[in-house]
A and B are shown apart, each in its own frame.
Chain A
């Protein structure tokens, strides 16, 4: 848990000294209620407390529609919680989370920009000269395995390639916190494994704090240090947390054959199963 936050004068978290012990992201008693037009209020998330330490890879798993993405939006500062508080590196979050990079579930690339421009823009808006931004964008495209794809527009790339561009776009800014909302959800099983390995490979070089939302328990265990399970909505809350005892570096496809992987999977599934069924019952399948 974090120590008491230093109040900063800047509206969002400023570039003040980062407290070494402070968690990267701390959610305390967060509740989110949406006021629906002409209908009763909908309580998506109730009383969620969660803290992600610097360098930790946390996966948040829950049945579809349980408010996991909503929680991520709160951590990103895109959504203000109705109750509770959010702190980033010990300082209360107001406005957008400037420490965070966000990889969205849906296509978030600018369709009118080439892959290179999509990655370079992340630097250019912060004032990096175009030539330098382009050179570094090319480097990053190469790192995500897309060397030579710079001049292509998003519609000319496959779903997996677009995710790679998205990853490069987020990582080129070197955010301290990485928020990922079912980033590999729409991809086929093989591509997901390849992307998972790519992600772990990139992450291992500088170990950012990661909040990774998924509905796939296997993916969560294979990638993360800690798995957080959420209940079915409405009023979704955390029903359990498990540490993942698997050694790093990992290979996603091999780690699934590990004995510890199976034991943990069975244990978590026992807890999650009831919630998944509940989720199905509510949405009618």
Chain B
């Protein structure tokens, strides 16, 4: 299967879905509109809304706020996850003592923390960053912990026989191994940073994509809700592309599974 053929098929799916949406919301079948536009809007209205947002430039502020919250959540969550992951992996007693608490906090649906963060940190960006951090932290933490724990014994013995001291082992063995595990979960952790930001905005804020969707929902503006979702989806895809680029650069030493031809 050639690449262009595949892309053509993929585009076809989108066109068919939008066409179906359009027909079902605008063309009455036996006198009945299957999907009432009041609840389902129409592709045309949604597109017009998106164009309007970008033409007026009002959307940029919301995009920027959401991006800022997600980036801060990712950075703070990652740094904390790396540090704690390293600490736990190198100090088994600490890991054993905190093990039940880590499990309890990780089992807690993080959304219930959002009201607490709003109370503590206000309606600004920091309550959203905090929510994102609680999501990102555990992903990075578990991966770094695993990465340090699962360093190949042979590689470790080899490093020691070559004369590495504890500090050099950290730098040349544990650190790269932990980072490779962390990078392999980059898509998940970045995705969760965005989830934290948007959910936080949705639950109470003054700006951001989540705020936009929540406002539209509040006045039964279905076109606004759908438009917000489309912009959010595009935003996430762009971020995912950037992450893929970064990942390819950082994990250049990783073997790539042989590509199969169909």
Contact = CB atoms under 8 A, between A and B. Distances in A.
Interface of A: 76, 78, 96, 98, 100-102, 104-114, 121-122, 125-126, 153-155, 169, 173
A96 B161 contact: yes
B180 A125 contact: no
Contacts of A109: 155, 158
Contacts of B180: 112
A125 B161 contact: no
B255 A102 contact: no
A138 to B, nearest CB: 18
Contacts of A173: 162-163
B162 A121 contact: yes
23 contacts: A78-B161, A101-B161, A102-B158, A102-B161, A104-B157, A104-B158, A105-B154, A106-B154, A107-B154, A107-B155, A108-B154, A108-B155, A110-B159, A112-B176, A112-B253, A113-B172, A113-B253, A121-B172, A125-B172, A154-B253, A155-B253, A155-B255, A173-B163
Contact of B163 (A76, A110, A125): A125
A169 B162 CA distance: 8
A126 B172 contact: no
Contact of B253 (A121, A122, A153): A153
A78 B160 contact: yes
Among A96, A101, A111, A113, find the residue whose CB has the most chain B CB atoms closer than 10 A: A111
- Interface residues of B: mostly helix, strand, loop or mixed? helix
A101 B163 CA distance: 10
A113 B162 CA distance: 15
B33 interface: no
B230 to A, nearest CB: 40
A173 B164 CA distance: 13
B252 A125 contact: no
B254 interface: yes
A87 B164 CA distance: 22
Given A112-B253, A155-B254, A102 B164 contact: no
B173 interface: yes
Given A108-B155, A112-B176, A76 B162 contact: no
Contacts of A76: 161
B194 to A, nearest CB: 28
B106 interface: no
B168 interface: yes
Contacts of A126: 163
Contacts of B157: 78, 102, 104, 108
A276 to B, nearest CB: 26
A126 B206 CA distance: 57
A125 B164 contact: yes
A170 to B, nearest CB: 8
